[in-house]
Amino acid sequence: MAEGLATQGQRGQLDGRHGLRTPWGSLLGETVDWSPMAEYLGVTIDRGLSMRTHVRNVVAQSRTTRYLLRAMLASHLPLRAKLDIYKMYVRTRLTYAAPAWHALVSETGRKSLRAQQSLAHRTISRAPRFVRNQVIARDLCMESLDEFIRRQIGCARADGARAQHLWGIEPSIRARRTTEACHMTSWTFKPFLTAG
Question: Residue 21: inside a domain, yes or no?
Answer: no
Task: Say what percent of the chain tops pLDDT 70.
Answer: 66
In tens, the pLDDT along 174-195 reads 444 444 445 544 334 444 444 4
**Total count of residues recorded for the chain:** 196
Rounded CA separation 33/5 (Å): 18
Q: What is the pLDDT of residue 167?
A: 63
| Residue ranges with strand state E in the chain | 13-15, 19-21, 25-27, 30-32, 37-40, 43-46
Question: Residue 8: inside a domain, yes or no?
Answer: no
Residue-number span of the structural domain to which 157 is assigned: 45-188
**Total tally of structural domains belonging to the chain:** 1
Are 8 and 26 in contact by the 8 Å Cβ rule? The answer is no
Question: Residue 111: inside a domain, yes or no?
Answer: yes
Q: What is the mean pLDDT of the chain?
A: 76
**pLDDT band at 49; cut points 50, 70, 90:** confident
DSSP, residue by residue, 162-176: SSGGGTT--SS--PP
Question: Residue 35: inside a domain, yes or no?
Answer: no
Question: Residue 172: inside a domain, yes or no?
Answer: yes
The whole-model pTM stands at: 0.66
In tens, the pLDDT along 61-109 reads 999 999 999 999 988 999 999 999 999 999 999 999 888 888 889 999 9
Question: Residue 36: inside a domain, yes or no?
Answer: no
Question: Residue 183: inside a domain, yes or no?
Answer: yes
What's the helix, strand, coil split of the chain in %, to 5?
50, 10, 40
